[in-house]
Amino acid sequence: MTSIEITPAEAIDRQRRGAVLIDVREAHERALGMAEGARGVAMETLIADAQAHLPDRDVEVLLICQGGMRSLRTAETLLLQGFANVASVAGGTSRWADESLPLVKPVGDIDTDFAERYSRHLRLPQVGMEGQRRLEAARVLMIGAGGLGSPAAYYLAAAGVGTLRIADDDVVDRSNLQRQILHTEAGIGTPKVESAARTLSALNPRTAIEPVAERVGSANVERLLEGVDVVVDGADNFPARYLLNDACVKLGKPLVYGAVHRFEGQASVFDAGRHRGHAPCYRCLFPEPPPPEAAPNCAEAGVLGVLPGVIGLIQATEAIKLILGIGVPLSGRLLHFDALSMRFRETRLAADPDCPVCAPGRAFPGYIDYAAFCAGG
């Protein structure tokens, strides 16, 4: 302990004798709770213009952060700037809480469950309170509660997405359990959307689950997409993929794509509906579906059980980034994963200026018989 560090108990005693206590954490961190009586001024803000926040250089200043390091560095900087009476609270807010000293929530406080459940998000500047509230207000459509939908839905619910609408008309089968981690032995024979709703609600009761026991088709796709911010494609067949793509282009929804086959998977983001001429759609990548014999489903070809977990988590990551508006999405890039060699590779994708669905200025051609289209009819 250096000479400018004090204990939380000493800080309270000095507060009572007129010292000023400043919490130098970021606002999203302070939202979880602050030492009682502290003022919130982020470290960089305070260092940049200490005089504006501490006009009296003779006042005793106590600094606190989360664990004591930032406040110590700030104290050392203020001493160099000419503030003669500065100390840092050793152990920070964590030690303050461990010693059962009084904590308060800032104005616009959050409930305890929210603060504890999302505390690691709230400490991220790229998420923070604003981002977590954005996740809480978001609505995501998940097509399929199987191999891809299971891990994607699990992590979207855990992350705090407010509403998950899950569409799947299948029931749980024992063969699903090798990879579809939303389901258990006890759920065999029950609709997948019901099994998914039970599992996800047990994980995070703050997330509203809207189970839709229907297969996506031209008649219901726009109803399923109504009001959602992001669509996650966990379908296992080409007709559904082309249909989802066309509907998302028409309605301007970002589509997070994923597919798996034996030991390989791929993922991308198709956002042509919002960025025509710049972002490609699924049809730009696959103008024509492969013949059925060239792309057997998992039941026919088999799939490594953990593979959908890898791809589904990538899909969940992309969906969260799209909701938060952070990072660089996979739009215009197709990510390939080979589990046997443990290698990722990336293929650049360009928007097709002649795409029948997403070309700039082209009117929506209408939904087609996707089953016939994918069968070569």
How far apart, in Å, are the Cα atoms of 259 and each of 94, 227, 285?
44, 25, 13
User: Closest Cα to residue 275, out of 258, 242, 252, 296?
Assistant: 252
Hunting for tokens 């979207």 — which residue is that?
A: 156
Cα separation of 195 and 187, whole Å?
6
| Catalytic residue from among 65, 248, 284, 298 | 298
What is the enclosing helix (H) or strand (E) of 174?
none
Tell me whether residue 244 is exposed, middle or buried, using C-beta atoms within 10 angstroms of its C-beta: 0 to 12, 13 to 18, 19 or more: buried
How far apart, in Å, are the Cα atoms of 7 and each of 50, 174, 263, 280?
23, 58, 56, 58
Identify the sign of the CA torsion 160, 165, 168, 172.
Answer: positive
Identify the sign of the CA torsion 11, 16, 18, 23.
Answer: positive
* Biggest CA pair distance of the chain: 85
Helix/strand/coil for 240: helix
CB-based contacts of 68-72 (< 8 A; 24+ apart in sequence): 68/5, 68/92, 68/95, 70/24, 70/25, 70/43, 71/24, 71/43, 72/2, 72/4, 72/5
298 is catalytic: yes
162 DSSP assignment: S
Q: Catalytic positions, please?
A: 298
